[in-house]
Amino acid sequence: MSKKNNECQVIEIARLTFDRINTYIPTLRTNSPHTVRAYRTAVNLYINYLEDKGITNKTFNAECFSVSCLNDYIIWLKQERNCCNKTCNNRLAAIKCLLKYIGIRNPTYKVFYMDAAISIKRLRERKSKVQGMTRDAVRAILDTPNPSSKVGLRDIAIMSFEYGTATRIDEVLSLKINSLKLSADMPYATILGKGNKIRTVYLMSGLVQILQKYMNMFHVAKPEPNEYLFYSSWHGQKSKLSQEAIRKRLKIYASKAHEICNDVPLDLHSHQWRHTKACHWLEDGINIVEISKLLGHENIETTMIYQDITTKQQMRALATLEDESTSAIPKKWKLEKNVGLSNLFRFTRTQGE
């Protein structure tokens, strides 16, 4: 390939990549900044990988998306970035989507997407168990913040809302004042979830009291309806509270609460409130279909990860089995006195089998 043609190829691929990340994905695919960031991160990592291989803008060409190059990229992610199989699969999927986009815009490059889609399979992912918390751990964490301080009350309100409604952290931080209906006969909040799906979550009386106390401290008598419910102030401006700020606060509370209750995980993260509530709903006997609706899952198969028997259910089941098995074994003092050793041994073996 001539130098001029190679430069044209590099410019075209770069332009299409830029269009996909900055125009196509945020406009036509998703409104989530997290999704856009994930695609951008995957592309940036692939560029870093190519640079580590010594590829420059002068040596870059379409062969950089060959099957062998993509396989080496996976190895690079695992060895240099210490990525798990799930992360590798997500990064590779983002690159495959990019190749598909480029191939549609210019059929010359379609072969690279076809080769990658057929030849490169997903890595086997280890099935991770959903980690919830015990009810004692929930109480210990919620008792840790100081409710008389502004930050403490805010954090209690956020954690209580997450646990009480099993909402995602971004859904909570995206709440606006007009999303809450605390004075309704059945208080509720309108949640804007993934894929712009809207659902209603009803609020229990205890959570309503916490939110009312929070509103009195953080918002004026007649706040702007479009203000964020939970916000951070910077130079007098109210902006959406960041997930990173909440993550840091959770680490502090988890460390303190763990000293009181060993069930509190030291690596506590916001999504565990959602996992925990789903598990507690199961323990309370709520149907998995109803839980799926409460969580806002589009597909019930997503909810089935919570179908794993919880610790409390497991102990209850084991206790029931133990009662059934021990009640079926004849008591020794009720055996006939003339039972010989061989007969007794035979009886023991039969029960053991």
Token representation of residue 349: 């073996």
Q: How confident is the model at residue 348, as a pLDDT? A: 40
Which residue stretches of 120-242 are H helix? 135-142, 150-165, 169-173, 205-218
- Asked whether the whole model's pTM tops 0.85, one would answer no
Which conformational region is residue 223 in: left (phi greater than 0), alpha (psi within -120 to 50 degrees), or beta?
Answer: beta
CA–CA dist 214, 176 (Å, integer): 14
Domain spans of the chain?
3-119, 135-307, 311-352
Is 135-307 CATH 1.10.443.10? Answer: yes
CA–CA dist 133, 145 (Å, integer): 18
User: Computed from CA positions of residues 63, 68, 71, 76, in that sequence, does the dihedral angle turn out positive or negative?
Assistant: negative
Q: How confident is the model at residue 223, as a pLDDT? A: 83
Digit-coded pLDDT (tens) for 80-120: 999 999 999 999 999 999 989 988 998 888 887 888 778 88
Cα of first residue to Cα of last residue in the chain, in angstroms, is 75
Mean pLDDT of residues grouped by 10 in the chain (353 residues)?
66 88 85 83 92 86 85 92 92 91 87 80 77 89 94 95 92 93 92 84 93 92 88 83 92 95 92 89 82 78 63 55 54 48 41 43
Q: How confident is the model at residue 194, as a pLDDT? A: 78
8 A C-beta contact, residue 66 and residue 72: no
Q: How confident is the model at residue 320, as a pLDDT? A: 55
Sequence-distant (6+) residues with CB within 8 A of 193 are 168, 171, 199, 296
Q: How confident is the model at residue 164, as a pLDDT? A: 92
Q: How confident is the model at residue 333, as a pLDDT? A: 43
